[in-house]
Structure 1
Amino acid sequence: MNSSSLQFLGLVKKAGAVVYGDALMESIRNKKVYVVLLSDRASERTKKQIKDKCTFYQIRLFEDVPGEVFTDFSGKTVAAFGIDNQKMASKIVRDEKR
């Protein structure tokens, strides 16, 4: 991910547009998240589960995001998180296309 996307994640968190943990899988199933970010520190099992879910439900996935981003961003150890605000998610996708 580029630096502007990483900086934008702080605003996303403050807006409360982040889903992680068990709620993330449920949100993917219900198509309530628009983008999922997957840490490079996630276990192989977790990576496979999230990749398969995102592929099946056609949700954009960014893989191998540096693990430090997740710790700094959430203050917790999480393997992945989703963004449930469509406008914020589309900004991250646009920034990544540049």
Structure 2
Amino acid sequence: MNKEKVLHLLGLAMRAGKLVTGEELTVADIRKNKTKFAFVASDASENTKKKIKDKCSYYNVSWNDSFAQSEISQAIGKTRMVIGINDAGFAAKFRELIKG
């Protein structure tokens, strides 16, 4: 996985307005089937990770937890632990980059 490319793409998705940030907003969008891919910080609490992973599993949404909160926050310019990608094109590219 090329972490640099993934983080750069996160910033691009943020500027394009294709992200939802924060735990509650991301969970709400997962429930509405808007979110196509989710990121949860590797240093998030176990509760937060479990909540996001369970929602993603139930609603068949891909997710990733290999980035620290500092990396995610720097990429999007906001301090966040959880991010949802609400665009199918961006989500497909994230899946491709993460699988390597």
> Which TM-score applies when normalising by structure 2?
0.89
Other-structure match for 2:12: 11
- Mapped to 2, the partners of 1:97 and 1:15 lie a distance apart of 23
* Structure 1 stretch displaced more, 65-74 or 26-35: 65-74
- Mapped to 2, the partners of 1:43 and 1:77 lie a distance apart of 15
CA RMSD of aligned residues (A): 1.3
CA drift at 1:67? 1.9
CA drift at 1:52? 0.5
Q: What amino acid does structure 1 have at the position aligned with 2:62?
A: R
CA drift at 1:64? 2.9
Pair 1:69-2:76 in alignment: no
For residues 58-80 of structure 1, the C-alpha deviation after alignment (integer angstroms, 9 at most, x for no partner) is 10010131222222123332211
- Mapped to 1, the partners of 2:8 and 2:18 lie a distance apart of 15
Aligned residues: 98
Q: What amino acid does structure 1 have at the position aligned with 2:12?
A: L
- Give unmatched runs, 5+ long, in structure 1: none
Runs of 4 or more above 3 Å deviation? none
Counting aligned pairs with the same residue, the percent is 34
- Give unmatched runs, 5+ long, in structure 2: none
Other-structure match for 2:61: 59
Match of 2:63, SS state, is strand
Other-structure match for 1:37: 39
Other-structure match for 1:94: 96
Q: Give the 3 Å change call, closer, same or farther, for CA 82–90 of structure 1 in structure 2.
A: same
